[in-house]
Chains A and B, each alone.
Chain A
């Protein structure tokens, strides 16, 4: 087995009770994956101060400076970034009281935001943090053609456990979520409301984007004509939410499974000149050339997605590798689950991708630096370099091995989890 490189180091960490608010930390490790440009996996030391990475020094037998709490590990990586999950807004109990991811009362709910559903005390946030996930894009669920706006959050905050959603937010409105395929149809067909077909789902989205562009023009014209308060155009929250999307400021994320739905997303994205991405991308391997030509990043997964539903029947564990090998920028996701398990764990999804053609280092990229770049938050997180948030994960072996353990997780310079 490749795991369990260094059991002794595990013990030295485990026996060490850290004060929660330790200001200065030194992480000493045999294999540091900084994910900064250059060779990965060398030994060294990471200094953390005031919530940020202070310095990363490579080498063996380095002595931590005095005044730093010392943590040791076999492997160290940046905090993992889950670019599409319902964690935080879709609770573990799976009862109406804690399910706030799908506002399935109208196929267009562009005006809603996950920020306003986000529960910082949700147990699944702490659960995924135990497996190294420190940043998530928490996205509205799969049921509405226009589902609303996602937000990017830390999973645990410096003020934990009392952090607010606003304090955890890196970007409170990060993307507009669109859903194609089977799910929006099955959501409304029972009530004989649109959409009942893929045609209608596409039409709902195209109509809304067309209206948003017209709405934007109307306001621009009003401003150009002197901003006459007596001629103020009527405000529309949904169209207003879509204006940054049609103007290419806010990314559109199309959640798509079947190859034809992927092509529909590309068709709409190109028609409206959107800055867009594809999520799930289950059958993306069948239309790799088209995705590459469209130059869209893919938020891929979950890798262990069940192939039970017709639109996911052709899911493959090799999806991440097949897209990456075609030159498509990828990041990995845990997505949305409706039953048991209620949430997937990004670390585990990335492991299956690593073992099915992607390889360890590329899988790690897809949940750290590449994920940060796709979300545009690489100035804050995604790699271990001086000045970035001190989001760090400590392992006792290869991070993706089944039998490895997360020894500790650091978020913004504070230890959020420590293995007992």
Chain B
């Protein structure tokens, strides 16, 4: 659609013009790295293959040039070399469900912009128009090793608006957006959209939620047909063909029908998840089930349809009826059934600083370490159609990686450094960055120093 074309052009112009400035501003305390960077000595989890005990990562121009065992791959002369012996290196974490920037820190009256609770179907809304790149939550996310995020509108509406696929760097949303991406579409069913019932407005029931969803897709199908007919007439040389009226929202829904935009569907209860599957089959669109609190109850249904789950791991059941059956064993059950599972933060529901923890709890609940690592990296990347760009450490991919003090799933491990496209955006050894990991960044000048240096 037209809007998309303009946006892409704008983006590429803006991005190429400002990329250098962005890097310099965000890295802040240090000059951006030019030329080639080599990180050597770490145990590397490339995710695309088995771990490498004494690995080398070679990076140039924001991209990965080579990954391999020390001595097995050539290290270019003149490179900046960083020793990471005894540490662990893995791809930057991809958070497939976050509200950083749109639910800023601290949340006070009027600062939250995730839910436009004035109508349950809002496909024309764009998260990118409400994301604050200065939100400290974004820096806290990089302190947790998150490099890429899907920032979504909230779950108050059946169709809440367009999400944004971003890298966690930059001073404007244009600098954050990943070039060539248009984001997904947030949908929700179950408890939250029923909130309108409190005002005696639709939807008051799950039936109506589904009916509203069906309604917008049917409308979009008609709209699509009208435009197709118009384009066909134009192509046939019909100069009298009348251009149909534009509708911003339907433009975005047509992108879903065309397979260009993935639906990210908030859904907890097993029957709600089945409704998500029913709708996606009826209108032939690509969908990711988000939260999936009871997804393991319908694991085979998800596996059969190759629908992945972006799972939110929370510490206890309840808070609302549809999350009463939450259990740590769910991701492992999904894995065994053949469902691809990503771990998300749903920040502020869980903290971006501890996304590694959420996957580790998946391991505690019975998931394999391999699947849990993929659930932080390549699986969420695939859910955002970014699997060719991020999520593993392979030559040609973006140089998004993190350096850890130990094994990824130990509670005693800290994220030491976070790198996005070859530039360091978080460095735990820098006092200015440290308090985005621990907390207390707003009072850093009064923050007492911890004896023993915080492990």
Contacts and interface: CB of A to CB of B under 8 A. Distances in A.
A3 B369 CA distance: 13
Contacts of A283: 443
Given A3-B410, A92-B317, A403 B351 contact: no
A91 B438 contact: no
Contacts of B103: 308
Interface in A277-321: 283, 285-286, 288, 304, 306-310, 312-318, 321
Contacts of A313: 105-106, 442
B450 A94 contact: no
Contacts of B448: 285, 288, 322, 326
A316 B435 contact: yes
B108 A316 contact: no
A219 interface: no
A94 B360 CA distance: 27
A337 interface: yes
B260 to A, nearest CB: 32
Interface of A (DSSP majority class): loop
Contact of A337 (B319, B323, B443): B319
Given A340-B320, A356-B455, A306 B348 contact: yes
Counting chain A CB atoms within 10 Å of each CB, which of B315, B320, B442 scores highest? B315
Contacts of A357: 450-452, 454-455
Contacts of A404: 364
Given A288-B448, A322-B450, A342-B319, A306 B351 contact: yes
Interface in B334-363: 348-349, 351, 354, 357, 360-361, 363
Interface in A240-287: 283, 285-286
Contact of A316 (B364, B406, B412, B439): B439
Contacts of A339: 319-320, 349
Contact of A341 (B314, B409, B442, B450): B314
Contacts, number: 149
A106 interface: no
Interface string A73-112: 0000000000000000001111100000000000000000
A150 B443 CA distance: 33
B440 interface: yes
B450 A402 contact: no
Interface stretch (A37-45, A231-239, A346-354): A346-354
Contact of A317 (B326, B364, B438, B443): B438
Contact of B321 (A2, A93, A285): A93
B450 A325 contact: yes
A232 to B, nearest CB: 47
Interface string A375-415: 00000000000000000000000001111110000000000
A352 B411 contact: yes
Interface string B416-453: 00000000000000000001011110110011101110
Interface in A1-22: 1-3
Contacts of A401: 410-412
A281 to B, nearest CB: 13
A402 B364 contact: yes
B361 A321 contact: no
B222 interface: no
Contacts of B349: 339-340
Contacts of B348: 306, 308
B440 A341 contact: no
A286 B443 contact: yes
Counting chain A CB atoms within 10 Å of each CB, which of B414, B437, B439 scores highest? B439
A322 B412 CA distance: 17
Contacts of B407: 1
A419 to B, nearest CB: 11
A402 B321 contact: no
B315 to A, nearest CB: 5
A264 to B, nearest CB: 18
A313 B410 CA distance: 26
B317 A123 contact: yes
A93 B411 CA distance: 30
Contacts of B450: 318, 321-322, 325, 357
A345 interface: yes
B412 A2 contact: yes
Interface of B: 103, 105-108, 314-321, 323-324, 326, 348-349, 351, 354, 357, 360-361, 363-364, 406-407, 409-414, 435, 437-440, 442-443, 446-448, 450-452, 454-455
16 contacts: A1-B410, A2-B412, A94-B320, A307-B105, A307-B106, A308-B105, A310-B108, A317-B437, A318-B440, A325-B450, A339-B349, A343-B315, A343-B316, A351-B411, A355-B413, A400-B411
Given A124-B318, A318-B450, A356-B438, 14 more contacts: A123-B317, A288-B448, A306-B348, A308-B106, A309-B107, A313-B105, A316-B440, A317-B438, A318-B454, A337-B319, A339-B349, A341-B314, A354-B412, A355-B414
